[in-house]
Amino acid sequence: MNAYAQITVFGAVQGVGFRPFVWQLARQFGYSGWVLNNASGVKIFLKINSENNPEAEKQFVEALRGQAPALAQVDQVLWEWIDPNATHRELTELKDCCGFTIQKSRPGLMQTAVLADATTCSACLRDVFDPENRRYGYPFTNCTHCGPRYSIIRSMPYDREYTSMAGFNMCPVCQREYQDPSDRRFHAQPNACPACGPQLRLTQFLPSSETSHTQENGLSQPDNWRMIEQVCHYLAKGLILAIKGLGGFHLVCDAGNDSACRTLRQRKSRPQKPFALMASDMDIVKRYAKVSKAAEKKLNSTQAPIVLLPKLGKLPPSELSELVAPNQSRLGIMLPNTPLHSMLMSTWAKTCPNRLLVFTSANLSGYPQIYRDDKEAELMQLADAVLTHNRPIIRRLEDSVMKTSVEGNDCEALRQSRGFAPLRFTMPEGFPSLNTLASGGDLKNSIAFQKGNEITLLHFLGDMENFDIQTAYGEALQDLQQLYQLKPEHIITDKHPGYYVKEEILRYREKHAPAATLTEIQHHHAHLNACLFENAIPLGSPPVLGIILDGLGFGEDGTFWGGEILYGTYDHFIRLGNLAPRPLLGGDKANKEPWRNLYALVRTQDSLENLIQRYPQVKSLRQLQTKPTDLLDSMSKSGLNSPLSSSAGRLFDAVAAVCDLCFDSMSYEGEAAMRLEGLLNEELLLKEWENAYFMQTETNPQSNRQLLDTASIIPQILKDLNNHLSVGQVSARFHICLVKTLLKSAEQLREKFSFQYIVLSGGVCQNGWLIWLFRQMAPPEITLLTHRKLPANDQSIAVGQLCALAARRVNLC
């Protein structure tokens, strides 16, 4: 007697080699039947040749979960026995079948998840480095367990014809691999080999004396190695190469060569912002940085992000140029993530042993990374030669960035893109099933949507002030139709009246979803929600206190918020405290020029002349004298171009400015805060613990609202600087003071409002020492919720927007 079962596997189980895995498993168990992809995931029909074997279910499900392919994510396995006497559509076929087969995906059936790109697996690397293998030196080697996905897909289903591999016809050998369920390359859509796949090309813009020979298309593998040797030879000579990666071009140079790094900074117009680095292996990473177990795991993961690691002591400048990461205590390092990178790095390790390569995105300052092949003219302005290939990149995917916590035991996301995107989450308990689209914000934008009970966060796009990013935003909206078949019933955007994404999402609604409801969610409530969400706090949980330290977000009262104490849940909040609002003198300029924020605080204390007399040793006060302060005073008086803001980011700018760290202007966003953070260490913080500044706080007796008077610390800082205290000490005293004051306010609020959790979110919370201080000082009965998977910055806004709407819909029911 036979028993029959149907099994549904939910999760990211398509396009990852799951069906051949089931095929092998069923054969191992000696079961007949078939497997196919369907709308919910993978469906398996089994004929089991021993009736109701009580162990059959347990053993098979355990194997499905425990032995699944590397890139698969099994969320749920549903096992149903089929009554042999029932009328079941598949039963007759199942009774008659012998052997186990893989059935074709049925047309019209949607694949559930679009998958992220994955770093080369160890088996493929062995092929590339094995002189006997037909893929020896072939930089586009991949299999079902690795390789490009999101970066090459145009539309669904995930079949080769809908990817940028469409133009390459598989040769008979590759085709055989593709069709053989026992092969690692079974249904690997980008499967390719030197005979049939994409080809490498080296284009040189060097003066002819530098040019040894020009490479052409259609090279054999030994030529690939020669080309890479040539590239390493150029790098060793101090030249700059543009190299095409998974999601865009990088500019690459020798990290130990000062003059190459200087030239690179000049060409990119990027004076200060740290460059990312690539190391050939973990031993090299450890030569330069402190690598915790958590960091090692991330560096070696299939996502292979850049990880910001604490720099090791003083390295000789001949090994690592000071220009790679000026004034930084951390280095951003990644390992190879494509076969081309692995070939390059292994050759580089022989050319210049123990040396890192700078791997920074190929772009001019303020512009996004170049990823399209028709931009060679722009690359020519940046690089001396270009190593590229003819497999188009469909969407720009910047390198993902993570940071180790200061304790070293954890890693936190700062940017989720290549390797992670699209990032998918199941909603915590209690949320309703909805179809919702969230616009995100104008800075560090990512779009997110809810489909059913899942949230998907798309790749990092960037700041909307740039035209190319606006174009990418439009393309990402198109993806919603082509890749996800989203039909939004609800659309959410930010409250900010001037946001580009708001206009764009309204146009989208008009065209694609005119019946969808439209909701605006306050920026910092979205931050609070994103953090609750990633900590899996169930819907209906009691209110929490949110300390949101951020740049700028449009507030409920029409001013700009950014240093907020909120009290609330997923669906609503009240504002219980904030940093005292100050004018952004000069409007937008105040976001880029720290001295303006310093002046906004200084002018509340005394006249500049009096302060200079009192603190003659403080250079930054004298520097303020050279600025048009009279004009700013009258602007502020008339309210012209000086909107009020309680931004925490601008407070850090002011403190950096008074310390004369990037006083005039920031060359990249967040520079002031990063400079202050970079001065800190545990010893210094412990030493300054008792010397922290004192920030005055007022409590409104009616509303209990806490107002933190940030300007009250200015005279204390001026006094310290006048007494020649180091800026490191000032930074430590300021950090401790800020956390102490916020927690004191929280303590006071707890007398009237009950809460067990404090949420820490907003861009400023990327500051590792700030989070460390919260951990040191928070009372033991309070649990701190912080970010790990979702960045604390505005990339997570869209996820928070989705949670707010979903929570409100429940309350409507």
Task: Yes or no: say if 479 and 485 are a contact pair by the CB < 8 Å rule.
Answer: no
Which residues, in sequence order, are CB contacts of 437 under 8 Å at separation 6+? 447, 449, 480, 486, 488, 490, 491, 492, 505, 508, 513, 516
Contact between 171 and Zn ion by CB under 5 A: the answer reads yes
Q: What are the structure tokens assigned to 185, written together?
A: 């390359």
Minimum distance from residue 339 beta carbon to Zn ion (Å): 9
CA distance 44 to 82: 12
**Contacting residue, 146, 252, 464, 476, with Zn ion by CB under 5 A:** 146
| Cβ 197 to Zn ion shortest distance, Å | 6
Stretch of residues binding Zn ion (CB under 5 A), selected from 6-14, 196-204, 519-527, 794-802: 196-204
Among 22, 143, 340, 565, the residue binding Zn ion under the rule CB under 5 A is 143
CA distance 497 to 719: 41
- Region binding Zn ion by CB under 5 A among candidate stretches 28-36, 62-70, 136-144, 532-540: 136-144
- Smallest distance from Zn ion to CB 127, Å: 8
Which segment (144-152, 199-207, 295-303, 676-684) binds Zn ion by CB under 5 A?
144-152
Contact 714/696 with Cβ under 8 angstroms? no
Contacts with Zn ion in 73-92 (CB under 5 A)?
none
Please answer whether residues 330 and 270 qualify as being in contact, where contact means their C-beta atoms are separated by less than 8 angstroms. Answer: no
Give the separation between CA 360 and CA 806, rounded to whole angstroms: 39
- SS3 call for 92: helix
User: What mask, x for binding Zn ion by CB under 5 A, covers residues 353 to 392?
Assistant: ----------------------------------------
Shortest distance (Å) from residue 148 CB to Zn ion: 11
Looking at beta carbons only, is 128 or 240 nearer to Zn ion?
128
Least Å from the CB of residue 134 to Zn ion: 8
Q: Is 193 in the site for Zn ion (CB under 5 A)?
A: yes
Phi, psi of 788 (to 5 degrees): -135, -60
Half-sphere exposure of 86 (CA within 13 A, CB side): 11
Helices (H) and strands (E) in the chain, counts: 25, 30
Q: Which is nearer to Zn ion, 124 or 295 (CB)?
A: 124
Nearer to Zn ion, 33 or 148 (CB): 148
The yes-or-no answer on residue 37 being catalytic is yes
Q: What is the footprint of Zn ion within residues 514-573 (CB under 5 A)?
A: none
Calpha distance 25→21 (Å, rounded): 6
- Nearest CA to 738 among 800, 680, 798? 680
Please give the size of the binding site for Zn ion, defined by CB under 5 A: 10
C-beta neighbour count of 602 within 10 angstroms: 24
Does residue 47 contact residue 94 with C-beta atoms inside 8 Å?
yes
- Nearer Cβ to Zn ion (9/124): 124
**Is the CB of 16 or the CB of 548 nearer to Zn ion?**
16
Residue 298, both tokens: 């991330």
C-alpha–C-alpha distance, residues 565 and 626, integer Å: 36
Q: What residues numbered 639-698 form the site for Zn ion, per CB under 5 A?
A: none
Q: For residues 194 and 224, what is the distance between their CA atoms, to the nearest angstrom?
A: 10
Q: Is 363 a catalytic residue?
A: no
Q: Are 402 and 768 in contact (CB under 8 A)?
A: no
In the complex with Zn ion, the residue whose CB is nearer, 81 or 178, is 178
State the minimum distance, in angstroms, from the CB of residue 174 to Zn ion.
3
Among the listed residues 124, 128, 590, 714, the single contact to Zn ion using CB under 5 A: 124
Least distance in Å: CB of 171 to Zn ion? 3
**Catalytic, out of 19, 355, 424, 650:** 19
Q: Does residue 777 belong to the site contacting Zn ion (CB under 5 A)?
A: no
What does the H/E/C string look like for 426-446? ECCCCCCCEEEEECCCCCCEC
d(CA 682, CA 684): 5
Phi and psi (nearest 5°) for 144? -65, -20
DSSP-derived secondary structure letter, 690 = G
Rounded CA separation 375/293 (Å) = 40
Instruction: Specify the residue for token string 């390059």.
Output: 344
Stretch of 69-77, 114-122, 631-639, 666-674 contacting Zn ion, by CB under 5 A: 114-122
How far from each other are the two terminal CA atoms of the chain, in whole angstroms? Answer: 50
Binding range to Zn ion, per CB under 5 A, among 69-77, 137-145, 333-341, 483-491: 137-145
The token pair that represents 344 in the structure block: 């390059």
- Nearest distance from C-beta of residue 186 to Zn ion, angstroms: 12
506 binds Zn ion (CB under 5 A): no
Ramachandran sector of residue 505 (left: φ over 0; alpha: ψ -120 to 50; beta: rest): alpha
Taking the least distance from each CB to Zn ion, the nearer of 82 and 196 is 196
Among candidate residues 37, 337, 363, 578, the one labeled active-site is 37
- 196 lines the binding site for Zn ion (CB under 5 A): yes
128 binds Zn ion, rule: CB under 5 A: no
Give the integer Cα–Cα distance in Å for 394 and 166: 12
Interface stretch with Zn ion, choices 195-203, 476-484, 593-601, 786-794 (CB under 5 A): 195-203
For residue 706, what are the contacts with CB-CB under 8 A and spacing of at least 6? 565, 576, 577, 578, 697, 698, 699, 700, 745, 748, 749
Of residues 158 and 508, the one with the C-beta less far from Zn ion: 158
Quick check: 115 binds Zn ion (CB under 5 A)?
Answer: no
Residue 193 or residue 579: which is nearer to Zn ion going by CB? 193
Tokens standing for 643? 């909107």
121 is an interface residue for Zn ion by CB under 5 A: yes
- Shortest distance in whole angstroms from residue 346 CB to Zn ion: 17
Nearer to Zn ion among residue 143 and residue 356 (C-beta): 143
Q: Which amino acid, one-letter code, is at 530?
A: A
CB of 117 to Zn ion, least distance (A): 12
CB of 195 to Zn ion, least distance (A): 5
Q: What is the DSSP string of 609-628?
A: HHHHHH-TT-HHHHHHHTS-
- Rounded to a whole number of angstroms, the minimum distance from the CB of residue 226 to Zn ion is 21
Q: What is the rounded distance in angstroms from the CA atom of residue 437 to the CA atom of residue 440? A: 9
Q: Does residue 36 bind Zn ion (CB under 5 A)?
A: no
Nearer CB in complex with Zn ion: 195/282:
195
Q: What is the DSSP string of 47-60?
A: EESSTT-HHHHHHH
Alpha-carbon 409 to chain mean position: 19
Q: Which of 71, 115, 174, 345 binds Zn ion (CB under 5 A)?
A: 174
Stretch that binds Zn ion, among 185-193, 238-246, 297-305, 703-711 (CB under 5 A): 185-193
Of 772, 766, 765, residue with least CA distance to 685: 772
Measured between alpha carbons, how far is 170 from 186 in angstroms, rounded to an integer? 13
Only one of the segments 187-195, 241-249, 320-328, 524-532 lies at the binding site for Zn ion (rule: CB under 5 A); that segment is 187-195
Applying CB under 5 A, the span of 42-50, 194-202, 238-246, 502-510 interacting with Zn ion comes to: 194-202
Rounded least distance, CB 746 to Zn ion, Å: 50
Q: Which CB atom, from 172 or from 313, has the smaller least distance to Zn ion?
A: 172
Binding flags for Zn ion, 577-606, as an x/- string (CB under 5 A): ------------------------------
CA 375 to chain centre: 25
Task: Answer for the pair 438, 492: CB distance below 8 angstroms, yes or no.
Answer: yes
What amino acid occupies position 68?
A: A
Would you say 116 or 146 has its CB closer to Zn ion?
A: 146
Residues 316 to 345 in contact with Zn ion, rule: CB under 5 A: none
Name the residues annotated as catalytic.
19, 37
Q: Give the binding site for Zn ion (CB under 5 A).
A: 121, 124, 143, 145-146, 171, 174, 193, 195-196
